[in-house]
Structure 1
Amino acid sequence: MNVRELIIEAISENSFVDNAYEYLQENDNLIQLGMNSLSFIKLVITLENKFGFEFDDVNLDYNKFTSLSLLCEYVKEKIKNNES
């Protein structure tokens, strides 16, 4: 699985988007699809465990990650920096 697929899996696990695999697109607004502060924190914990990094405190605001593409970019950057 690639990063995008693992993030979609995490979104599905945290259930703010039903059937995420079937229809979640890169620029769908995750807040409009049901993400709130509680589901975002659950998602953050899941992603931190899956990828082995911690979100920066300044990025613990779900309003910063309104789309799948923004979330993917952040996770990929954290993974890259973690490997350095």
Structure 2
Amino acid sequence: MSRAIEVILRDEIFTELEIEYPDDRNTNLLEQGMDSAGFLKLVVLMESKFNIAVPDEDLLFENFSTAGLIIHYLTEKTMS
């Protein structure tokens, strides 16, 4: 499942964010050009593409600061 999540994240979400998907899943997205507006757009796109709700208490950049953390979060949310 995480492979399918990564494909959607890379090919759809990062494309819409106009941010290059990092070669290393542990690269901090700030280094890829993510800013606060991009972070909010990332959350909205994740909610839309994966039909999930990100609760307010999860809305911390450190929860989504790398592609690896995003994939882990989405895997947990879509499996429950």
Per the alignment, residue 30 of structure 2 pairs with 31
Count of aligned pairs: 77
Distance 1:40 1:11 in 2: 11
Deviates more, 1:38-47 or 1:59-68: 59-68
Equivalence for 1:2: 4
Gaps of 5+ in 2: none
Q: How far apart are residue 7 of structure 1 and its match?
A: 1.1
- AA at the equivalent of 2:42: L
Separation in structure 1 between the aligned mates of residue 70 and residue 25 of structure 2, nearest angstrom: 9
Amino acid of the residue matched to residue 39 of structure 2? F
Q: Distance in 2 between matches of 1:56 and 1:39?
A: 18
CA-based RMSD:
1.6
Structure with greater helix percent: 2
Q: Which amino acid aligns with 1:4?
A: E
TM-score, with structure 2 as normaliser: 0.83
Structure 1 runs (4+) greater than 3 angstroms displaced: none
- Greater relative contact order (Cα 8 A, min sep 6): structure 1 or 2? 2
How far residue 24 of structure 1 moved from its aligned partner, in angstroms, is 3.3
Structure 1 unaligned regions, length at least 5: none
Output the TM-score relative to the length of structure 1. Answer: 0.80
Residue of structure 1 equivalent to 2:17: 14
